[in-house]
Chain A
Amino acid sequence: MDKAQMAAMLRDMLRARAFEEAAAQAYAQGHIAGFLHLYPGEEAVAVGVLHAAEPGDYVVSTYREHVHALVRGIPARQIMAELHGKKTGVSGGMGGSMHLFDRSRRFLGGYAIVGETFPIALGAGYAVAYRRLPEAVICFFGDGAINQGTFHESLNMAALWKLPIFFVCENNHYQIGTEIHRHSAITEVYKRACGYGIPAEKVDGMDVVAVHKAAKRALDRVRAGDGPQFLELETYRYRGHSMADPGSYRPAAELNAYQANDPIAAAVHVAEHPYPSADAIAAAGADCVTRFTDHCCEGGHLDDAAVERMRREIQEEVADAVAFAEQSDAPNMDDAWKAFHRNRRFETLMETAQ
């Protein structure tokens, strides 16, 4: 990997972290409402995978998709404005944080119902194969989605018809508050793909270089017509599931009840399902952004001054995006009706009574 590519990947990881922290701040200030699912901790996944993608590829993502959109090339301004519900947002303020769409960048949306990315990717993959084009469809999903019926249905059809789909599991070990050992009979997600004959591997999702390498390999096979590929990336989200979730997963009342009534059960519960402390996270491995920054500097690709300059530029970019979002106009009801009826261009319909 050359110097420029390393720098570009590091820049996107830093942009991702800065963007999400700015979003969290805007949420805390009351400028962003609704659900807000943030990505810090998982940057190596989006950056590693999407830097291996080509402009002709399609991306299908979940409700934790701001960073996928950002790395895909959607301007920070348009994403931040969408998070603020503004008319200048990438979905015109009709989608929100969980529903970023950008037709021009082949970003087929963020989906808020767990397991929906599979059939969307299936359809996109079908359309690509139908036209015999050397394009790939990248389908992101979390470990929680693997228990939906659509996972199995779609993997089966993708393999059956050799569709050009790259399934990417962001395994952050939690479906909101339920740890993977408590939600999946097989905790190594990639093994499930074997049931459908889809080549699958598991890679350290905190190592952006390893992610990029694996993604490139898989995407090359997909575009060559080898059928679907599957990659499990083990990662970790530092924040709770959403801004509404402190991430403790052990409400004081529940803990108190266990302690008061059944100390043994409480002890077993704590022992089996510990929520890692900050120390435990640090002990488990370096933060992917810090790790890659060090890697770039140690390898002589970048120096401290260059990284500092990068950070400053990114702060400016993100601050500009926030200001743009705040200053943008809100859409009105006419805009909503226009968006709703935009595709009725060949027909005149009589509308409902009122």
Chain B
Amino acid sequence: MSEMLYWQALNRAMDAEMAADETVLTLGEDVGLYGGTYRVTEGLMAKYGEWRVRDTPISENSFTGLGVGAAMLGLRPVVEIMTINFALFAMDAIVNMAAKIPFMSGGQFPMPLTIRMPGGVAKQLGAQHSQRLEHMLMNVPGLRIVVPATPQDAYWQLRQAIRSDDPILVLEHELLYFSKGDVDEATLAPPIHQAVARRRGRDITCIAYSRMLPLALQAAETLAAEGIELTVIDPRSLSPIDWDTCVRAVEQTHRCLIVEEDCRFAGAGAEFAATLQERCFYLLDAPIQRVAGMDIPTPFNGTLEAASIPRGEHIVQAARQMMAQQ
């Protein structure tokens, strides 16, 4: 067990898998000599050489497609797309190729492809660099999506993604790269898709992923001081979703609050709310609520930017209102 930053955990996970399996390689813009824009691939080129750590031209569709083709021949590529915003150029490779080839071939071709993408709202990067696109990708059968919120999960979920024969998207958050936490590299982690309770409380189940998780945990502390106790569930995976863990938590609290940084309309929160009301309707004491990003392109101005996405106080207010609805 050692303490490290989120990016360091990813870096160590890459190193561990590349050392263990010579079919693992990584490619993307500036992953080699430069070491990765968030340092995730730092040091790997020197250690493994340019065929295993490949700097690519700015050609997202084709280098992501390269990952698909190489995976069909049995390699285990880890494609880094510098930010999720650029993945829009690679949607054909992700949606039409990676997600469909295993199925269209009648199962003949596994797709041991991992695609890492930083995203989310960081600090005044403008509308084109401040997106959360998980909802678009969740709607594509054949893709799996993980959203590690802690260094521990970043480490293990990346390793598990590389070992999987399904295409897995690892959505990293730009503001989490320098968050710190303990990483146990020796003990095998829970299954990659399994949701975990980060905190237990009797009143409300709060489902929060990626950077919204630390916000929800902070809000839970504030609320606890007022006597409102939250269970905080980190789904860790957005496709598939570990419904059983979510349902069990809601069955105990009878209330559910979903927090997502993504825009509210047709977002991940809508899927959580729809399915959980289908499964838990008669146990609910209040309508399922969502705290989500505004349905607006992210403004550049810092004050407006902060106002367009959930803050801790929004979670606190929403929880208080839910408890007041008796």
A338 to B106, alpha carbons, bound, how many Å? Answer: 9
- Residues of A with C-beta under 8 A to B163: 346
CB contact list, B159-202 vs A, under 8 A: 163-166, 191-194
B67 at the interface (CB under 8 A from A): yes
- Residues of B with C-beta under 8 A to A111: 97
- Residues of B with C-beta under 8 A to A108: 69, 72, 109
State whether B104 touches A91 (Cβ < 8 A). Answer: yes
A343 to B163, alpha carbons, bound, how many Å? Answer: 12
B214 at the interface (CB under 8 A from A): no
Number of interface residues of A (CB under 8 A): 55
State whether A342 touches B107 (Cβ < 8 A). Answer: yes
B61 at the interface (CB under 8 A from A): yes
Binding site secondary structure of chain A: mixed
A103 to B69, alpha carbons, bound, how many Å? Answer: 13
CB contact list, A83-107 vs B, under 8 A: 89-95, 99, 101-103
State whether A153 touches B165 (Cβ < 8 A). Answer: no
Contact of A339 among B61, B103, B241, B278 (CB under 8 A): B103
A93 to B142, alpha carbons, bound, how many Å? Answer: 17
State whether A347 touches B72 (Cβ < 8 A). Answer: no
Chain B min CB distance to A82 (Å): 9
Query: Known contacts A160-B57, A351-B240, A353-B275; is A122 also within 8 Å of B66 by CB?
Result: yes
State whether B65 touches A150 (Cβ < 8 A). Answer: yes
State whether A127 touches B70 (Cβ < 8 A). Answer: yes
A336 to B104, alpha carbons, bound, how many Å? Answer: 10
Q: Told that A153-B59, A349-B193 touch, could you supply 13 new A-B pairs with CB distance under 8 A?
A: A89-B106, A91-B105, A92-B107, A95-B105, A95-B106, A119-B61, A123-B70, A123-B73, A124-B73, A130-B70, A342-B110, A344-B164, A353-B279
Please list the residues of chain B having a beta carbon within 8 angstroms of any beta carbon in chain A.
25, 51, 54, 56-57, 59, 61-75, 77, 92-93, 96-97, 101-111, 141-142, 163-166, 191-194, 240-244, 275, 278-279
List 28 A–B pairs whose Cβ atoms lie within 8 Å, in order of A's numbering. Answer: A90-B106, A94-B105, A99-B104, A101-B104, A102-B108, A116-B97, A119-B63, A119-B66, A119-B69, A119-B93, A120-B65, A122-B65, A123-B65, A126-B75, A127-B74, A130-B51, A130-B75, A149-B61, A154-B66, A156-B57, A157-B63, A157-B66, A340-B107, A343-B166, A346-B164, A347-B191, A352-B243, A353-B279
Please list the residues of chain A having a beta carbon within 8 angstroms of any beta carbon in chain B.
58, 60, 89-95, 99, 101-103, 108-109, 111, 113, 116, 118-130, 149-150, 153-154, 156-157, 160-161, 336, 338-340, 342-353
